[in-house]
């Protein structure tokens, strides 16, 4: 072994411990950074081939690893937009240029445009409900849009779907007069109820729904616009029925047996509304309404936002109605610890991490999304201080190796004298 080799080995050891101290310094500095994952220095030996019984010292190399897959403790807050992942998965965010990244830092707050931005300035990405129920793009970031919620803009949603459940009396008999669908002034019916729907501008439309027995186990359902009713009475309605259909019940079980179990019609000034009647029964009791729901809402601004564990962002309006706006996905890779860390506590895919896969919370191995919580750094200060002391001692020992090699070199140089 040459003296130069011994000195280079000492320098290698000092450099390795300096890297270890750098990782410790970063960990301590970010011990209060939301979603931060601690880094550690892993050492491996460099062995030089020996010849003729002579030992050639090599040195040590350093690999920095991050404990990205280790979850930190959650701290609960009072902000709905503070988000944490309980389990596996990362939020998808983007920077100002539109480049996507992965992060566990969920301290999101609305900016001036209503976009949810975390402390590092990255925008939260999600799938919009604007085009119906969203589906995740499994192998890419396409389809994701920045979450943008503004309470300044008023919105109105027309009614498109509804459900009606209840009971029609099994002992009813057909009326003697014309059916409601005839819109005759002398029309007769068995039971009547009303529903509220909304047109395209958010105006309330009161709809009269008539149920009329037409025989053993058969009923007619007719829907009218109440504003078109004859003052002081009902029939006839100007323009007639919006729609009518026939239902057939099993006289033994009281359940619907016919192919028709819904009625569709156009809300005046609005969209087509599909009213589900499949939960209706015909039993030996009176007319009963069990449940009646119609979607849509009147013009109102967003009063507050709610985020479910499945990642769905709901807007609650002033009238109490709610509407799904976005669905937050979670991304994951095969080896999270091998993701490449970038400034701002975000990560990108590396050759060793595996490809990014996107899904929704609580699906497969992905965790759940917790609203009103933040994931703390997974740094243990006591462990970092211990590592600091150990690295300092090792650095000093390696410096002694270098110093000893330098002293021996002086002896060698002075032999000539």
In the chain, pLDDT over 70 holds for what percent of residues? 96
DSSP 170-204: TT----SS--GGGT-TT---SEEEEEEEE-TT--E
Residue that wins the pLDDT comparison between 336 and 54: 336
Q: Closest Cα to residue 190, out of 221, 216, 217?
A: 221
Question: Which pLDDT tens digit goes with each residue over 158-201?
Answer: 999 999 999 999 999 999 999 999 999 999 999 999 999 999 99
Question: Which pLDDT tens digit goes with each residue over 240-281?
Answer: 999 999 999 999 999 999 788 999 999 999 999 999 999 999
Query: CB under 8 Å to 341, separation ≥6 — which residues?
Result: 37, 39, 66, 68, 347
User: Tell me, what's the pLDDT at 414?
Assistant: 81
User: Highest-confidence range of 119-123, 207-211, 311-315, by mean pLDDT?
Assistant: 207-211
User: In the predicted model, is pLDDT for residue 1 greater than 60?
Assistant: no
User: Tell me, what's the pLDDT at 60?
Assistant: 87
Token representation of residue 389 = 């002391």
The Cα–Cα gap between 311 and 329 comes to 7
Question: Which pLDDT tens digit goes with each residue over 78-101?
Answer: 999 999 999 999 999 999 999 999
Token representation of residue 399 = 């410096």
Mean confidence (pLDDT) of the chain: 90
Q: Omega before 284 cis (within 30°)? A: no
The Cα–Cα gap between 180 and 339 comes to 68
User: Tell me, what's the pLDDT at 132?
Assistant: 84
User: In the predicted model, is pLDDT for residue 326 greater than 80?
Assistant: yes
Please list the alpha-helical segments (H only) found in 263-319: none
Token representation of residue 118 = 């975390």
Model confidence at 417, in pLDDT bands (50, 70, 90)?
A: low
- What is the number of other CB atoms lying within 10 angstroms of the CB of residue 198? 26
DSSP secondary structure letter of residue 96? T
DSSP secondary structure letter of residue 72? P
Task: Compute the radius of gyration of the chain from its Cα atoms.
Answer: 35
User: In the predicted model, is pLDDT for residue 416 greater than 70?
Assistant: no
Domain ranges of the chain: 3-67+378-414, 74-153+301-375, 157-299
Give the right CATH number for 157-299 from 3.40.30.10, 3.40.50.300, 2.40.50.460, 2.60.98.20: 2.60.98.20
Question: Which pLDDT tens digit goes with each residue over 39-68?
Answer: 988 888 877 666 666 766 778 888 888 899
The Cα–Cα gap between 67 and 352 comes to 15
For tokens 């807050």, name the residue.
77
* Beta-carbon-side half-sphere exposure of residue 169 (alpha carbons within 13 Å): 13
What is each CA distance from 308 to 80, 284, 358, 360, 361, in whole angstroms? 10, 41, 18, 12, 10
């Amino acid at each position: 072994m040459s003296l130069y080799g011994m000195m280079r080995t000492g320098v290698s050891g000092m450099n390795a411990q300096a890297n270890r101290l750098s990782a410790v310094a970063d960990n301590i500095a970010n011990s209060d950074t939301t979603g931060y994952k601690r880094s550690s220095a892993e050492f491996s030996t460099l062995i030089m081939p020996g010849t003729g019984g002579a030992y050639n010292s090599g040195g040590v190399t350093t690999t920095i690893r991050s404990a990205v897959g280790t979850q930190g403790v959650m701290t609960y807050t009072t902000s709905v937009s503070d988000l944490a992942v309980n389990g596996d998965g990362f939020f998808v965010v983007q920077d100002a240029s539109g480049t996507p990244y992965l992060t566990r830092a969920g301290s999101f707050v609305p900016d001036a445009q209503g976009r949810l931005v975390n402390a590092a300035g990255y925008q939260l990405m999600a799938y919009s409900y604007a085009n119906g129920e969203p589906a995740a793009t499994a192998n890419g970031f396409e389809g994701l849009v920045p979450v943008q919620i503004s309470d300044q803009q008023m919105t109105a949603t027309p009614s498109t779907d509804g459900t009606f459940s209840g009971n029609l009396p099994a002992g009813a008999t057909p009326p003697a007069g014309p059916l409601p669908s005839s819109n005759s002034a002398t029309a007769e019916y068995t039971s009547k109820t009303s529903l509220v729907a909304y047109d395209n501008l958010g105006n309330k439309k009161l709809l009269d729904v008539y149920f009329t027995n037409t025989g053993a186990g058969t009923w007619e359902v007719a829907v009218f616009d109440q504003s078109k009713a004859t003052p002081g009475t009902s029939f006839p309605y100007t323009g007639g029925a919006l729609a009518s259909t026939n239902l057939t019940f099993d006289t033994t079980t009281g359940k619907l047996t016919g192919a028709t179990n819904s009625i569709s019609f156009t809300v005046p000034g609005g969209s087509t509304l599909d009213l589900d009647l499949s939960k209706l029964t015909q039993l030996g009791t009176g007319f009963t309404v069990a449940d009646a729901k119609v979607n849509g809402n009147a013009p109102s601004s967003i009063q507050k936002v709610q985020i479910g564990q499945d990642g769905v962002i709901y807007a609650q309006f002033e009238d109490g109605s709610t509407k799904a706006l976005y669905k937050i996905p979670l991304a994951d890779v095969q080896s999270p610890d091998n993701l490449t860390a970038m400034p701002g506590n975000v990560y990108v895919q590396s050759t060793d991490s595996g490809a990014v896969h996107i899904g929704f919370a609580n699906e497969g191995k992905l965790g759940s999304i917790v609203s009103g919580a933040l994931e703390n750094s997974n740094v243990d200060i006591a462990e970092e201080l211990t590592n600091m002391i150990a690295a300092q001692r090792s650095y000093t020992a390696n410096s002694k190796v270098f110093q000893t090699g330098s002293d021996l070199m002086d002896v060698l140089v002075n032999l000539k004298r």
